[in-house]
Structure 1
């Protein structure tokens, strides 16, 4: 009885008020602003959640299903992508607060983990914090495996045994290398501590205690077709069309970004973080000091002190991101302290901004159009406009600039790219076969026909597919990814130039093709061999990767275009 009375008192002390957050004019302005941005940016559906103190405002806009005209509501579920990293960090914090572990515990001190890395110093010194802050220096090349889809049976325990093959991109703790694989490992650590699957733990220990009743883990591609879910859309031409549903199974990457949620549930999540880990019913789910550490700068960016930033005098206002914490970017907006994160899972793009000192949170996500820039710009302009009203600032964006952003302050540069030269190769049959790598899924090469006397070499890494284009050398090709469209479009610079991936075959002394190297992420050149399969268990460390510099300049240009 005493416990029931205590619960009632706490509940009464923290009432959640829906509405009353804006004046009628402010609400009308925000609604009109969102409608305008969705129209000019070709956004099919959107969720928007705003909290300030104990007041909450949530809305759905547009369509969750364009064919049936099912409207998006504040209970419609969207995939939130990498916003899920903070959920996984919170889950781990819930476990370590009752152990002798801390954020700074070395990985080799965690019972049952037994990770090895290509750099002995990383194996010896890396901590939980290094994984959370993206400062291991290890390559993010595993993303290609997650996008392509790993073979059946590839769980987090299995993939954790392959960490010793992840190439090294930079020195340990010297830079920021955003790495989804590291958050998969964080998820695996929670499984070791919780003695259950991450999927069950994130639901029972985080989502349910927060009252996030609509939220769930994206487990299967068919999940995006359920009645309460916003379907994904793409825009390969001038019309929106259904996205490719079969690409939404991310096993075993789920801890890095496979949570689905609604506007109402994300309002719960924002309040939880703004209240320093306290739920709506007054329960301290994660120790305050652990969450406050997550909100601090742990990996500073070395791009003139800012990353993904805009500053005066080029822009009307300052929006500066200077570091990464644990599952959160650390920044300031118009001199207000802000923590934030973005999330992208193909057509689903999300953005969350929290202002801890003002007890303000703004969240939005969309289900299309799947292009590189438009949805991200849409969310950034909407969250900027809503933040200005909440912070008592004069909005720096209007209907026109919200649609042109980042213009007129920054002009989008159009790259002409290298001249295309068509070569022929009459020995493409030599390369047919299946090749394997210990870190990424197997690749199958086959010959296809486009018509009479037009045969070409086709590459398939499960869901990743495309053509191998001949070059002047018989054993050298360039891979042009065409499937899935949702990922291939991300390989486009300024949505104008398709990036090519260099592929170089090697032959045995008797002339038979036995292997090839493929340039993928940054400087990483992955080696594929005919006598190897990904699911092989033998130690084949010589078959992982080489170092190179192909694509370095082009990828640097991509980063520069994002920063501006």
Structure 2
């Protein structure tokens, strides 16, 4: 995709966003019932909690979710902190009180609060301070505009215009790629939207934000999380999954195949490396109770100690980008209640659930998923995490658990019952059946005949790493990408192939609700194969990997020289200059579709 550099970027105006938020709030507030004032004083009975626990067990069973960790707090009291189900789904080994779950992108709020705290201690640095002024002239993104103007707020608000490029994280960056190495690679990850014009979720930008915190503080991001949060809040059972070499007290990730739960290799949880600031935390229900109590109590811990000044937290709740996740809202035109997004903030989303202001975020890593919702005006907080599988049914399970919990804590009559908690989104909307994988017999020996040997070799992209293609046993053509990515390539037509993962990531293309093959297209230029296209982000054009071994690019002279060769070329220049950058030695700052 070529971006017209003559188009001026749309700069978000905070006044306009706040006006938009005001209009949405006025509309949504009509859904708020007359019982709101009473619910503020209404106690949650033991019977309510028992009904909720029965609901959780029912949802886990009917949705085939093996385990859950739940926390409920209200009025500075922990009403429930408990785990359910099996931490080892295959062997049906029950969870324990201290069984840990990965919380994925709930980590982003920790990163945002850390930066808010650091900025409060650095009067010369603000949210609007450019990243380049902090990191120095060697810092670059995909073009000069973003390089010069991107600020801390842009990173946390997901408004840089760079896509998620999630598959590079899915397969796992090599262990030798440090956080600093990855940040140097950002210049080779093409942006696809004008700067500050569109919400585009990016774990890489949160990794960059974490690095900014490291530079400003002189400490690692992990040290900052420990010193600012885990230690003062006594979250002693929480930590960083990338630091773990054993997983005996971690709920095992799992997949569903033909209706049967299958354990996955927990080393896949390390795929978040080196993007720790975007999603590397694991925790327990007890520890998340402490985090929720602090958020709801203006920065004070459960003992009344001031861990963060309230203004530090409030800075992370300010609206930045409107309606970040279209399609996820529940509207009263279809459902019994409304649950409507207003804005993405800094590591948080603001919504209105049944007229109540809700601040929340979701998280996911491998097949672990998490949700945290809290209602600041009602002193209500809810946390839930599960260990899999990666199906739509799991997503529905999370929403029904969070919604039912919200209703009982807010004093509202639950809109879900013991039937609809298992059928949602039905009867209000279509509930899609789970797609099961189909086993297709292929003749491996035939692949060697149809797939030319010239496809074999190394392919690289300076932003996304190296791919290796080779023949395996029996003549099967195999593609390897990252630490964990291995797939069989099956020729569809000419140089077009489909890919099915095997090894640790088998479930991505061969489990219930995950049956779509990857698409790979080799490129021939003249008499030789010059590269291949691979979808690093399935929502956008595939990325071109040049044939050849990954060059040693991390010396400063190389970065300066080669980055200037391409990044200073704009899309307004001649097509010859564009193609030089797209297919030259360092290439691929621009994503060109042929």
**Which category of TM-score, normalised to the shorter sequence, fits these structures?**
0.7 to 0.9
Is 1:528 the equivalent of 2:528? Answer: no
Unaligned runs of 5+ in 1: 1-19, 551-564
Is 1:217 the equivalent of 2:236? Answer: no
CA deviation map 1:304-323 (0-9, x unaligned): xx551110121111011132
Is 1:459 the equivalent of 2:479? Answer: yes
Is 1:512 the equivalent of 2:534? Answer: no
Corresponding residue to 1:104 among 113, 124, 128: 128
SS of 2:129 mapped into structure 1 = coil
Is 1:44 the equivalent of 2:66? Answer: yes
Range with bigger deviation, 32-41 or 151-160: 151-160
Maintained 8 Å contact 2:155/2:206 = yes
What's the CA shift for 1:517? 2.5
Is 1:438 the equivalent of 2:462? Answer: yes
What's the CA shift for 1:62? 1.3
Measure, in 2, the Cα distance between the counterparts of 1:48 and 1:326.
24
Measure, in 2, the Cα distance between the counterparts of 1:460 and 1:86.
34
Range with bigger deviation, 529-538 or 513-522: 529-538
Query: Paired residue for 1:383?
Result: 402
Query: Paired residue for 1:253?
Result: 275
**Aligned CA distance change for structure 1 residues 484 and 374 (closer, same or farther; 3 Å):** farther
What's the CA shift for 1:218? 0.8
Measure, in 2, the Cα distance between the counterparts of 1:270 and 1:173.
31
CA deviation map 1:241-290 (0-9, x unaligned): 21122212122111110101000100111111112322234343334223
Is 1:234 the equivalent of 2:255? Answer: yes
Give the TM-score of the pair, scaled to structure 2: 0.80
Is 1:495 the equivalent of 2:480? Answer: no
Q: Which runs of structure 2 are paired with 1:60-209 in the superposition (5 Å)?
A: 60-66=83-89, 70-100=93-123, 101-112=125-136, 114-141=138-165, 143-209=166-232
SS of 2:343 mapped into structure 1 = strand
**Aligned CA distance change for structure 1 residues 430 and 34 (closer, same or farther; 3 Å):** same
**Aligned CA distance change for structure 1 residues 366 and 414 (closer, same or farther; 3 Å):** closer
SS of 2:234 mapped into structure 1 = coil
Measure, in 2, the Cα distance between the counterparts of 1:242 and 1:415.
19
SS of 1:202 mapped into structure 2 = helix
What's the CA shift for 1:95? 1.4
Q: Which runs of structure 2 are paired with 1:341-356 in the superposition (5 Å)?
A: 341-356=361-376
Query: Paired residue for 2:36?
Result: none
Corresponding residue to 2:383 among 363, 369, 386: 363
Maintained 8 Å contact 1:234/1:486 = no
Maintained 8 Å contact 2:350/2:359 = yes
Maintained 8 Å contact 1:50/1:267 = yes
Corresponding residue to 1:336 among 353, 356, 377: 356
**Aligned CA distance change for structure 1 residues 486 and 401 (closer, same or farther; 3 Å):** farther
What's the CA shift for 1:70? 4.6
**Aligned CA distance change for structure 1 residues 268 and 534 (closer, same or farther; 3 Å):** farther
**Aligned CA distance change for structure 1 residues 535 and 78 (closer, same or farther; 3 Å):** farther
Name the Cα RMSD after superposition. Answer: 2.9
State the structure with bigger RCO (CA 8 A, min sep 6), 1 or 2.
2
Give the TM-score of the pair, scaled to structure 1: 0.84
What's the CA shift for 1:379? 1.5
Corresponding residue to 1:269 among 254, 279, 291: 291
Maintained 8 Å contact 1:113/1:189 = no
Measure, in 1, the Cα distance between the counterparts of 2:154 and 2:186.
15
Is 1:299 the equivalent of 2:321? Answer: yes
